[in-house]
Structure 1
Amino acid sequence: MRGFRAKDEDRDRFVELIEAAYVDGQLNSADRDLRVGRALSAETLDELQTLTRDLQPPPGAVTTTVPGVRAPGPRMPLLARLVGGFVAFSFVGVALVIGLIVVTMFVALGDGSTSSESGSGPVFESGLADPEVVSEDPPATPTFEMTPGQVRAFMRAYEEQFGTLEVYEAGFYPHRVGVQVPVRGSRPRMERWSWTGEWTQDTDASAVTGPTERVDLGTVDVRRMFANIETARKTLNVERGRLTHVLVNRWFDDQPSVNIYIGNQFNESGYLKTAPAGDVVRAFPYET
Structure 2
Amino acid sequence: MRGFRAKDADRDRFVELIEAAYVDGQLGAEDRDLRVSRALTAETLDELQTLTRDLQLPEGHVPPAAPGRTPVRALSRPSSGARGVLVGLVVFVVLVAVGVTGVVALAMFAVSGGPDATTSTVVDPAPAVPGQDPAIGQPGPPSFELTPAGVRGLLRDYEAEFGTLDAFETGLYPEHAWAFVPVRGARPRYERWSFDGAWSRQSDASAVRDGSPVIDLGALDVRRLFANIDTAQKTLDVPRGELTHVLVNSWMEARPSVNIYVANRFDESGYLRTTLAGDVVRAYPYGG
Q: TM-score, normalised by structure 1?
A: 0.77
Partner of 2:223: 223
After TM superposition, the structure 1 = structure 2 runs for residues 1-288 of structure 1, keeping only pairs within 5 Å, are 1-66=1-66, 68-69=68-69, 94-97=90-93, 104-105=107-108, 135-140=126-131, 143-209=143-209, 212-251=212-251, 254-287=254-287
SS in 2 for 1:174: coil
| Per-residue deviation, 1:66 | 2.5
Q: Which of 257-266 and 57-66 deviates more?
A: 57-66
SS in 1 for 2:178: strand
* CA distance 1:92–1:235, shift in 2 (3 Å): same
Distance 2:252 2:211 in 1: 7
| Per-residue deviation, 1:12 | 0.4
Query: What's the RMSD between the two structures over aligned residues?
Result: 3.0
- Does the aligned pair in 2 maintain the 1:211–1:252 contact within 8 Å? no
Partner of 1:79: none
Distance 1:266 1:93 in 2: 60
Distance 1:94 1:128 in 2: 18
* CA distance 1:185–1:53, shift in 2 (3 Å): same
SS in 2 for 1:265: coil
* CA distance 1:169–1:19, shift in 2 (3 Å): same
| Per-residue deviation, 1:248 | 0.4
In structure 1, stretches of 5+ residues that fail to align are 71-90, 110-119, 121-126
Distance 1:244 1:159 in 2: 25
Distance 1:128 1:30 in 2: 61
Which whole-Å deviations, capped at 9, do the CAs of 1:233-287 have from their partners, x for residues lacking one? 1111112110000000112752110000001112111100011111111111111
SS in 2 for 1:160: helix
Q: Which of 168-177 and 22-31 deviates more?
A: 22-31
Which whole-Å deviations, capped at 9, do the CAs of 1:32-70 have from their partners, x for residues lacking one? 222112111212211110110011122233412336427
SS in 2 for 1:271: strand
In structure 2, stretches of 5+ residues that fail to align are 71-86, 96-102, 113-118, 133-141
| Per-residue deviation, 1:24 | 2.3
Larger Rg: 1
Distance 2:105 2:33 in 1: 63
Distance 1:67 1:230 in 2: 32
- Does the aligned pair in 2 maintain the 1:213–1:251 contact within 8 Å? no
| Per-residue deviation, 1:6 | 1.6
- Does the aligned pair in 1 maintain the 2:88–2:110 contact within 8 Å? no
- Does the aligned pair in 1 maintain the 2:91–2:106 contact within 8 Å? no
- Does the aligned pair in 2 maintain the 1:146–1:175 contact within 8 Å? yes
